[in-house]
A = this chain, B = another copy of it.
């Protein structure tokens, strides 16, 4: 078998039909003088074969080309230490990535001696609220220092450069040579590395077929400053499509996590830092946001990947459960809007039986033969029912949920709300309104799909439009959200009236830079 191959051009492509090409090919091949290299049976002469290095001297056996050989597992602090105490779901507000930063600070500390952990980012480490890390290791800086400089050190283990391509390339090289790391990036800008992500995914895919390649640390992305919170940035910073890009790759390689709060984020991050040979995509907000689950519940939720939140549902428990509608949510802002929608529904239609399902690990939605994390059909049908409407609030583009669930029995009843690529520099709640992800749109859509509520839909629509009008007028006059939106808090029962939040502690509020 003979291939004529060139990475750039095929110089002789008419060998079969053009005798002149054939002659040139023959001359070219004969120029290697194969008769000097091989014996009459076509076997390479032993003295030539002996020239090639053997064993560990072979180029592919260089440990830096097989980084798994050098890999030392990270020493990881107990992430429960960083947990936010949750007496009641959603009463306390923290910046999830700030809390993660305190954990990463100690990951950095515990592995300073082995020098095998780094954090990469395009000048956004502090903006993404990970600045606690600087207490242990600064940003690497080898040039002159000025008096206004902060957190720069010659041996800093945080690498910042305003090039997503460089960050990605550095991190890939770092983990391919046996180390560990995390790339934190604004969600909108991560598309810059789509093509590099592809190459790394392909590399990992091929490596799975080579048993001598030892596992390497996973490539971990933390996307923050995400599409739903663009109070200071405009339309140009808004795009949740990296999830879609990641979801096109082989299920053996990719994992997508949308932790709904700080505690689930801690659990997800620890899991990702321990994992091998994956590409983990974590999306989490940096703004103050409610903590829904105590640490024990958070860990259980992350291990399951998805589940019913009994405390937010009123459809009965276990076998006796019988919802009128399932409100599903994936992502921190969608979870907030979904829980607020539950309280709106209490006002509008008190008798409605609502089940709340939250999804942390997106691939649990796929079938088990599409993705290892996919739950089986019986569990899926139990969770989402086979006949009831599912109003799904999603962080990204709605179509992805349809794509992940199209083999499920109830998928015709999935009504997904997510990004419609609408946005501007506006308030947090107005971003959800612009895209139909807000609590009122979710509540209205739920009622529209419950048969026994049909007659009253015009009345609900009236309430919806009155609310929208009030919201729009307030936002355009004051540039911030209505007090009843801003101050809304989850309550175990009763209506959607605002309740003041607990005052967050200093450690929970980030007073640092904002972008």
Q: Which of A242-250, A318-326, A379-387 interfaces with chain B? A: A242-250
The verdict on A245 contacting B194 (CB below 8 Å), with A9-B515, A202-B236, A477-B1 known, is yes
Q: Identify which of B1, B202, B476 contacts A479 (C-beta below 8 A).
A: B1
Contact between chains at A191 and B202 (CB < 8 Å): no
Contact between chains at B397 and A13 (CB < 8 Å): no
**CA–CA, A421 and B232, complex, Å:** 39
* B residues less than 8 Å from A214 (CB atoms): none
Contact between chains at B241 and A198 (CB < 8 Å): yes
**CA–CA, A513 and B199, complex, Å:** 26
Contact between chains at A397 and B194 (CB < 8 Å): no
Which A residues between 225 and 252 are near B, CB-CB below 8 angstroms? 232, 235-236, 239, 241, 244-245, 247-250
Contact between chains at A421 and B189 (CB < 8 Å): no
**CA–CA, A511 and B11, complex, Å:** 11
**CA–CA, A406 and B10, complex, Å:** 44
Which A residues between 457 and 482 are near B, CB-CB below 8 angstroms? 476-479
Q: Identify which of B411, B476, B479, B514 contacts A406 (C-beta below 8 A).
A: B411
Q: Interface size class for chain A? A: 35 or more
Which A residues between 181 and 219 are near B, CB-CB below 8 angstroms? 189, 191-192, 194-195, 198-199, 202, 205-206
* Least CB distance, A370 to chain B, in whole angstroms: 9
* B residues less than 8 Å from A244 (CB atoms): 244-245, 248
The verdict on A10 contacting B421 (CB below 8 Å), with A1-B477, A206-B235, A248-B397 known, is no
**A403 interfacial contact with B, CB 8 Å:** yes
* B residues less than 8 Å from A513 (CB atoms): 9-10
**A8 interfacial contact with B, CB 8 Å:** yes
Contact between chains at B514 and A9 (CB < 8 Å): yes
**CA–CA, A403 and B397, complex, Å:** 11
The verdict on A192 contacting B191 (CB below 8 Å), with A235-B202, A406-B402, A515-B9 known, is no
Contact between chains at A514 and B10 (CB < 8 Å): yes
**A32 interfacial contact with B, CB 8 Å:** no
* B residues less than 8 Å from A397 (CB atoms): 248
* B residues less than 8 Å from A421 (CB atoms): 202, 205, 248-250
* Least CB distance, A17 to chain B, in whole angstroms: 10
* B residues less than 8 Å from A145 (CB atoms): none
**CA–CA, A192 and B14, complex, Å:** 33
* B residues less than 8 Å from A478 (CB atoms): 1
Contact between chains at A511 and B403 (CB < 8 Å): no
Render A30-72 as a binary contact track against B, CB cut-off 8 A, 1 for contact. Answer: 0000000000000000000000000000000000000000000
* B residues less than 8 Å from A236 (CB atoms): 199, 202
Most chain B CB neighbours (cut-off 10 Å) among A14, A425, A513:
A513
Contact between chains at B6 and A232 (CB < 8 Å): yes
Which A residues between 328 and 352 are near B, CB-CB below 8 angstroms? none
* Least CB distance, A98 to chain B, in whole angstroms: 14
Contact between chains at B249 and A511 (CB < 8 Å): no
* B residues less than 8 Å from A511 (CB atoms): 13-14
**A2 interfacial contact with B, CB 8 Å:** yes
* B residues less than 8 Å from A199 (CB atoms): 236
* Least CB distance, A68 to chain B, in whole angstroms: 21
**A28 interfacial contact with B, CB 8 Å:** no
Which A residues between 466 and 515 are near B, CB-CB below 8 angstroms? 476-479, 511, 513-515
Smallest Cβ-Cβ distance to A5: which chain B residue:
B232
* Least CB distance, A324 to chain B, in whole angstroms: 23
* Least CB distance, A194 to chain B, in whole angstroms: 4
Smallest Cβ-Cβ distance to A241: which chain B residue:
B248
**A24 interfacial contact with B, CB 8 Å:** no
* B residues less than 8 Å from A1 (CB atoms): 476-479
Contact between chains at B232 and A479 (CB < 8 Å): no
**A399 interfacial contact with B, CB 8 Å:** yes
**CA–CA, A445 and B514, complex, Å:** 55
* Least CB distance, A279 to chain B, in whole angstroms: 13
Most chain B CB neighbours (cut-off 10 Å) among A5, A6, A406, A478:
A406
Contact between chains at B248 and A8 (CB < 8 Å): no
* B residues less than 8 Å from A420 (CB atoms): 250
**CA–CA, A6 and B10, complex, Å:** 54
Contact between chains at A239 and B198 (CB < 8 Å): yes
**CA–CA, A314 and B164, complex, Å:** 54
* Least CB distance, A186 to chain B, in whole angstroms: 11
A-B CB contact pairs (8 Å), 5 listed:
A10-B514, A192-B194, A198-B239, A399-B403, A402-B402
Given contacts A192-B195, A399-B403, A406-B406, 17 further A-B contacts (CB under 8 A): A3-B425, A3-B479, A9-B515, A10-B232, A192-B194, A194-B194, A194-B195, A199-B236, A202-B235, A205-B421, A206-B235, A241-B248, A244-B244, A244-B245, A245-B245, A247-B399, A248-B399
